[in-house]
Structures are given as structure tokens and as C-alpha cells.
């Protein structure tokens, strides 16, 4: 281990709570999102245990409704949205572009405090009455009829949104202004491109959910009739506003995971990413078109037929960039030198699960099939394949990949491989049966169900138990490895990014001298410093930027 690094630079609780080091802030986020992940996971286990029997003896209807609502709120707003950007993005974007920190280090710390305050309000709601509106807060149920603690939860989610906006702003400015000499736009790792696209969505989308929740909060607290039809309001207006953010929010969750996969596959195939510019452009296309598809959540609300047709068309358009990425990842494998280290297992897992999640989206985007499977378990299975199979697999893959850089120590490889397999099997066991339930017509958010649906619910609950073990294992051995793991060295894989050109764990200021970039992303063949065997020797060193935009 290097003598001096960001973890031992200063000591004491103040040195953490008042830090402006993006790496320490990333670890603060890591601790907080993990906390919410296990809270959300606990609620999920309660849901699955309750649904073992058709009549559900474990929870009362009100308790069950609180469980699935709080599961959604904790997982979406307090785990999935911040997870990859605020932990891995925060830690690695400055390192990847060759900067000492993010553009606004104090704002970065502020964004974590805002997140914590929002989290506390939401926890208050969970402990003090709970929340039973569904994470979607549909009106007038949430604003007039619910007997749960809606107001503090709405305030909490409202507040947390600002942390997301500040993080996005910080990333955009950093990528624009703080790239090291020679780090041109088209030499950036695709992880950075994915976060650039994500930041655009965060900055443009989050203010809309903020104002929507503010209106809903005012209706709830002061009886102003924005959405309540009894006072002349329009409940469907709420859904338009809500999904205008919450659909793009799906891309806040999945784009960063795609960015992680775009790092893992070239690294463990030791080969440039196939079609770099197409993958980068696909991220931006998803961010832009993703803003134009929100009303596909509302095909059966009675919205105009013309609107439904238009939104269905745009939904099919946004599917294409995801297909492009998948094909490019697959093509990268051909001619590579593929190893099966744990991060790559997560990348394979991501490919399989994202494929299922993405393709089942076509059934829901198509109007003729959506009228049947809308609001059934088919939807639940679909978005869990995207958000858990995609986003969480990407997050865990990234954590394993960068853990040696973040802590300076390796995780136990074989245990980690077993955990990755456990997760993959447990995940499919949990969620695949839910597709079948949806096709058979079981609506979502049911605390009791007709007995013909039981067998698939039992399978799902059994799978969830395996899945729970799969999540506990990495938490335990990664924590252990941070203190007692084998010393990793600067670049154990080896990988090509700038973050691997500094020591592990990095210095507080990241680099001793500002690095100068003379290579393209994922170019293993022109990097003698990686110590690999290149047939015919290393190629000519590229000196001039390939794209002269600097």
C-alpha cells in the first residue's frame, strides 16, 4: 500500500463530514445508498413473504400497501437514482478526465447533505405512519384519500431532487472544463459519456418532479385543488407531470450502468469498444428521446388516441439506441482476449438480463398488447429486469471493478464469483415467474390474489431468498476486503483509463502531476505501460489528438 493516500490523509469525524474530496464524498454516498438499499430490500422481503399464500397472513392490507410503497420510494429515489452517479461517478469522473476534483467540490458536499436531509424526511414518513400511495403518488389518492404520512415523504423526495440536480451540474461542468491535456471528447471513457447524458436528464428533468410534488404537497396540506376533480383539478395532469420526470429517471438509473458495462467489456476482453462513437451517440440519443415518451405510462387512462399512437411511436424509437449498444458490446467480444473475473461476470449478467428487460419493453410500448398487460405483474417483471438486472448488476460490477482502486485492496475472487452466480440465478427465479403472472392477468399491488396464481408467487418468493443471500455476500466480503484484502497495486487488471495511472488508493489530489493523454480510450495495443504482449510490438505512439477539438 502507498504510504499516503486519500483515506489516511486526515483523520477524525470532521475530516469526513466536512470533506470536499470527491472520493470521500463518494464513500459517504456509498454508505448512505447502501443503508437505503437494505431498508428497501427489507420491505421487498416482507412483500415476497406475504405473497407466499393467496390470502397473505403476514401483513394487513394497509401494512402490505405501505411495504410496496416504501420499497419503491427507498429503492428509486434513495438508491437507484444516486447509486452509480453519486458513488462511482463521483469517485471516478475526476480521475478519468485527469482532474484533481469535481468543478465545485463544496457543492458536491452540499449535494450529499441535501440527500441526507431528504432521506431523513422520508424516513420520518416511514416510521411515523408510513406511506401507502405507491411510489407514483397518483392523485387524488395521495392528495385527498390516503391516511398515511404523505406530506413528509413528498417533502423528502422534493428535497432529494436538488442533490441530483447539483450532482448533474457538477459533472457537466467538470467534463466541459477540467479534462487533462490531450483528453479530447472522443478519447473520454464511455462511462463519462454516459454520465454526461445522465447529467442532462438530471438537470432538465428533476425540476419538473420538484414542482409536481410541490403542487401535490400544497393540495394535500392546504386543500388547493390542482389535481382533485372535486375542486376542478385534473388527476391526469398529475400523471403527465410525474412521468415527464419519472420516465427519464429510468434513464438516470440505466445510462450510468450502461457506462459501467462499456468500461468492463473492453477491459476484460482487452480490446477497444466496438463502435465507440455510436455507443457515445446512443447515450445522448437515449437522453434526448427519453424525454418524449412519458405518456406511454398512460395508454389506458383514456388519453386521446392520437396522443397514444404518437407516444407509442416515440417509445419504439428510444428502443433503437439501446439495441445499438447491445450489438456493439457483443461485437466487442469477438477477437478479444476474454477473462472471467468477477466484474466481467456481472457484465455478462447485465447483458442477459438487460436483453430480457429491454425486449419485454416492446410488449408494453406496443399499444395493442399494453391494453392487456398494463398494470399487471408483467410490468413489475419488466422494470425489475431493467432496474435490478440492469442498473444493480452494473453497479455491483462497477464496485468490484473499482474496489481495488477505491480501497487499494482486492476482494476475494472465488467468493465474489459465487456471489455473482447466486445473484443471477436468484434474480431470474424471482422475476421470471412474474412475467407469466402478468400474462395470466394478475394485477400488481395486490395483497391477496386468486389461488390459480399461487405457484408462480411461491417460485418468486423462493428466488427472492436466494437473491437476498446474493446481496448480503458482497456487502460482507467487500467490507472485509477494504481492510484485510490482498494489496491490489495500481492497475491489477490491467485497464486503460486514467484512474489506473495513479496509485491505489489515490492521493487526495488524485495525481502527482497532471497527466497528458496521448492514447485513445481502451487502446490496449499502444500502451507499453500496461506490460501486455502485443504481437509485432507496440504500434506508433499517437501524439496529436485524433479529433482536434481542443
Nearer Cβ to another protein (243/511): 243
Nearer Cβ to another protein (268/411): 268
Closest approach, Cβ 373 to another protein, in A, equals 8
DSSP annotation of 230: G
On whether the CB atoms of residues 86 and 26 are closer than 8 A, the answer is yes
**Euclidean distance between CA atoms 370 and 86, whole angstroms:** 34
Nearer Cβ to another protein (12/335): 335
Closest approach, Cβ 31 to another protein, in A, equals 33
Other Cβ atoms within 10 Å of 233 Cβ, number: 20
Nearest in space to 405 (alpha carbons), one of 255, 509, 507, 541: 507
Nearer Cβ to another protein (179/270): 270
Nearer Cβ to another protein (465/520): 520
Backbone angles phi, psi at 109, to 5 degrees: -65, -40
Alpha carbon separation from 57 to 52, 60, 140 (Å, rounded): 9, 8, 29
Nearer Cβ to another protein (61/223): 61
Nearest in space to 517 (alpha carbons), one of 256, 212, 186, 267: 186
**Euclidean distance between CA atoms 344 and 517, whole angstroms:** 26
Closest approach, Cβ 428 to another protein, in A, equals 13
Nearer Cβ to another protein (100/444): 444
Closest approach, Cβ 289 to another protein, in A, equals 12
Residue with cell 437494505: 38
Closest approach, Cβ 5 to another protein, in A, equals 27
**Euclidean distance between CA atoms 333 and 327, whole angstroms:** 10
Please list, in sequence order, all residues whose beta carbon lies within 8 angstroms of the beta carbon of residue 474, skipping any fewer than 6 positions away: 396, 399, 400, 411, 416, 419
Alpha carbon separation from 242 to 137, 223, 247, 265, 380 (Å, rounded): 9, 19, 8, 35, 18
Closest approach, Cβ 29 to another protein, in A, equals 31
Nearer Cβ to another protein (164/246): 246
Nearer Cβ to another protein (168/438): 438
Closest approach, Cβ 119 to another protein, in A, equals 24
Closest approach, Cβ 418 to another protein, in A, equals 19
Closest approach, Cβ 372 to another protein, in A, equals 4
Alpha carbon separation from 28 to 31, 82, 109, 131, 282 (Å, rounded): 5, 12, 9, 27, 31
**Euclidean distance between CA atoms 377 and 366, whole angstroms:** 17
On whether the CB atoms of residues 189 and 263 are closer than 8 A, the answer is yes
CA dihedral (424, 429, 430, 434) in degrees, to 10, reads: 130
Amino acid at each position: 500500500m502507498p504510504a499516503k493516500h486519500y483515506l489516511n490523509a486526515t483523520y477524525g469525524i470532521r475530516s469526513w463530514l466536512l470533506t470536499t474530496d470527491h472520493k470521500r464524498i463518494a464513500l459517504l454516498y456509498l454508505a448512505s445508498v447502501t443503508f437505503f438499499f437494505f431498508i428497501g430490500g427489507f420491505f421487498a422481503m416482507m412483500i415476497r413473504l406475504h405473497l407466499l399464500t393467496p390470502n397473505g397472513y403476514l401483513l394487513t392490507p394497509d401494512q402490505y400497501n405501505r411495504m410496496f410503497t416504501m420499497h419503491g420510494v427507498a429503492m428509486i429515489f434513495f438508491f437507484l437514482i444516486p447509486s452509480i452517479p453519486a458513488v462511482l461517478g463521483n469517485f471516478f469522473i475526476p480521475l478519468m478526465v485527469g482532474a484533481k476534483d469535481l468543478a465545485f467540490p463544496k457543492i458536491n458536499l452540499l449535494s450529499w447533505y441535501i440527500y441526507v436531509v431528504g432521506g431523513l424526511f422520508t424516513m420520518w414518513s416511514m416510521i411515523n405512519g408510513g406511506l401507502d400511495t405507491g411510489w407514483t403518488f397518483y392523485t387524488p389518492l395521495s392528495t385527498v384519500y390516503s391516511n398515511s404520512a404523505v406530506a413528509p415523504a413528498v417533502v423528502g423526495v422534493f428535497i432529494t431532487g436538488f442533490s441530483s440536480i447539483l450532482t448533474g451540474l457538477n459533472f457537466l461542468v467538470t467534463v466541459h472544463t477540467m479534462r487533462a491535456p490531450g483528453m479530447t471528447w472522443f478519447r473520454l471513457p464511455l462511462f463519462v459519456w454516459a454520465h454526461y447524458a445522465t447529467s442532462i436528464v438530471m438537470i432538465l428533468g428533476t425540476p419538473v418532479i420538484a414542482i409536481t410534488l410541490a403542487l401535490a404537497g400544497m393540495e394535500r396540506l392546504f386543500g388547493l385543488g390542482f389535481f382533485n376533480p372535486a375542486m376542478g383539478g385534473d388527476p391526469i395532469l398529475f400523471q403527465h407531470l410525474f412521468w415527464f420526470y419519472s420516465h427519464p429517471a429510468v434513464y438516470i438509473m440505466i445510462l450510468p450502468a450502461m457506462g459501467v458495462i462499456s468500461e468492463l467489456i473492453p477491459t476484460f476482453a482487452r480490446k477497444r469498444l466496438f463502435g465507440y462513437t455510436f455507443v457515445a451517440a446512443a447515450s445522448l440519443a437515449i437522453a434526448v428521446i427519453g424525454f418524449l415518451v412519458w405518456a406511454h405510462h398512460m395508454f389506458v387512462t383514456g388519453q386521446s388516441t392520437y396522443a397514444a399512437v404518437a407516444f407509442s411511436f416515440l417509445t419504439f424509437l428510444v428502443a433503437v439506441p439501446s439495441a445499438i449498444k447491445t450489438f456493439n458490446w457483443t461485437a466487442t467480444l469477438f477477437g478479444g482476449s476474454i477473462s472471467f473475473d468477477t466484474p466481467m461476470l456481472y457484465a455478462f449478467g447485465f447483458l442477459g438480463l438487460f436483453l430480457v428487460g429491454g425486449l419485454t419493453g416492446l410488449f408494453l410500448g406496443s399499444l395493442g398488447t399494453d391494453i392487456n398487460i398494463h398494470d399487471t405483474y408483467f410490468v413489475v417483471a419488466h422494470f425489475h429486469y431493467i432496474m435490478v438486472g440492469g442498473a444493480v448488476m452494473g453497479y455491483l460490477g462497477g464496485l468490484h471493478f473499482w474496489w481495488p482502486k477505491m480501497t487499494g485492496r482486492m476482494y476475494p475472487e472465488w467468493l465474489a464469483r459465487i456471489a455473482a452466480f447466486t445473484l443471477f440465478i436468484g434474480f431470474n427465479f424471482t422475476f421470471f415467474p412474474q412475467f407469466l403472472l402478468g400474462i395470466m392477468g394478475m394485477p400488481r399491488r395486490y395483497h391477496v390474489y386468486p389461488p390459480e396464481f399461487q405457484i408462480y408467487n411461491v417460485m418468486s418468493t423462493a428466488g427472492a431468498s436466494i437473491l437476498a443471500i446474493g446481496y448480503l455476500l458482497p456487502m460482507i466480503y467487500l467490507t472485509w476486503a477494504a481492510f484485510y484484502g490482498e494489496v491490489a497495486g495500481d492497475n491489477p487488471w490491467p485497464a486503460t483509463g486514467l484512474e489506473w495511472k495513479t496509485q491505489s488508493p489515490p492521493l487526495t489530489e488524485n495525481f502527482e502531476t497532471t497527466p497528458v493523454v496521448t492514447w485513445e480510450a481502451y487502446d490496449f495495443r499502444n500502451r507499453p505501460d500496461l506490460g501486455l504482449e502485443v504481437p509485432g510490438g507496440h504500434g506508433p505512439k499517437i501524439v496529436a489528438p485524433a479529433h482536434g477539438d481542443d
